[in-house]
Structure 1
Amino acid sequence: MGRPRYAPGDPHGPERFINAFWQVLARKPYERMSVRDVVAAAEMNKNSFYYHFTSLDDLAESAVADLPLHNIKQAFLTEEPPRTVASRTLSTDDGEERLRRVRLLASRNGTALTPLLEQFLVAAWSHDEEGHTAALSADDEIALNFVIGGMLTIHRRTNDDDAIPALLNFLGSALGQACVARLRHIGEASA
Structure 2
Amino acid sequence: MGRPRKDSAEQPVSERLERAMLRRMFDEPVAAITVRALIADAHCNRSTFYYHFNGVDEIADAAVERAIPYELPLAIASMMVAYTDASPSPQRFDELLHDHATVVPEQVDTLCLLLNGPNSALAERKVRDALSEVYPSIVAALPGDDGRDELALRVIFTYASSAILGLMAYRGSIGLGVPVERMIGAVAPEVPQALIACIRRAMRG
Do these two structures clear the TM 0.5 threshold for a shared fold by scoring above it? yes
* Cα distance, 1:109–1:165 mapped onto 2, change above 3 Å: farther
Could you say what secondary structure the match of 1:168 adopts?
Answer: helix
Deviation at 1:175, TM superposition (A): 1.7
SS for the counterpart of 1:40 is: helix
Instruction: Provide the aligned C-alpha RMSD in A.
Output: 3.5
Gaps of 5+ in 2: 84-91, 139-148, 201-205
Number of equivalences: 175
In the alignment, which residue of structure 2 is the partner of 1:6?
Answer: 8
Provide the secondary structure at the position in 1 that maps to 2:119.
helix
8 Å CA contact 2:18–2:63 kept in 1: the answer is yes
The residue identity in structure 1 corresponding to 2:183 is L
Question: Cα–Cα, structure 1 residues 169 and 31, in superposed 2: closer, same or farther, change >3 Å?
Answer: farther
- Runs of 4+ in structure 1 off by over 6 angstroms are 88-92, 182-185
CA distance in 2, matches of 1:118, 1:51: 27
Matched, 1:118 2:127: yes
CA contact (8 A) 1:107 1:156 kept: yes
Inter-partner Cα distance in structure 2 for 1:87 and 1:33: 39
1:58-77, aligned counterparts within 5 Å? 58-67=58-67, 69-76=69-76, 77=78
1:44 aligned counterpart, secondary structure: coil
User: Which of 112, 115, 119 lines up with 1:106 in the alignment?
Assistant: 115
State the partner residue of 2:192: 176
- Once residues 51 and 120 of structure 1 are traced to their aligned partners in structure 2, the CA distance between those partners, rounded to angstroms, is 27
- TM-superposed deviation, 1:140: 2.6
| 8 Å Cα contact 2:30-2:60 kept in structure 1 | no
The 2-side partners of 1:124 and 1:171 are apart by 26
Counterpart CA distance in 2 for 1:60 and 1:84 is 37
Given the alignment of the two structures, is residue 147 of structure 1 paired with residue 163 of structure 2, yes or no? Answer: no
Residue identity in the other structure for 1:16: R
Structure 1 residue 15, shift from structure 2 partner: 1.6
Question: Normalized against structure 2, the TM-score is what?
Answer: 0.66
Computing the radius of gyration over CA atoms, which structure comes out larger, 1 or 2? 2
1 CA distance for matches of 2:199 and 2:47? 45
Deviation at 1:184, TM superposition (A): 8.3
Where structure 1 has 5 or more consecutive residues not aligned to the other structure, the ranges are: 130-135, 186-191
Alignment of 1:127-138 (within 5 A): 127-128=136-137, 137-138=150-151
- What is the TM-score of this pair, normalised by structure 1? 0.70
Aligned-pair identity in percent equals: 17
**1:44 paired residue number:** 44
Residue 121 of structure 1, CA deviation? 3.4
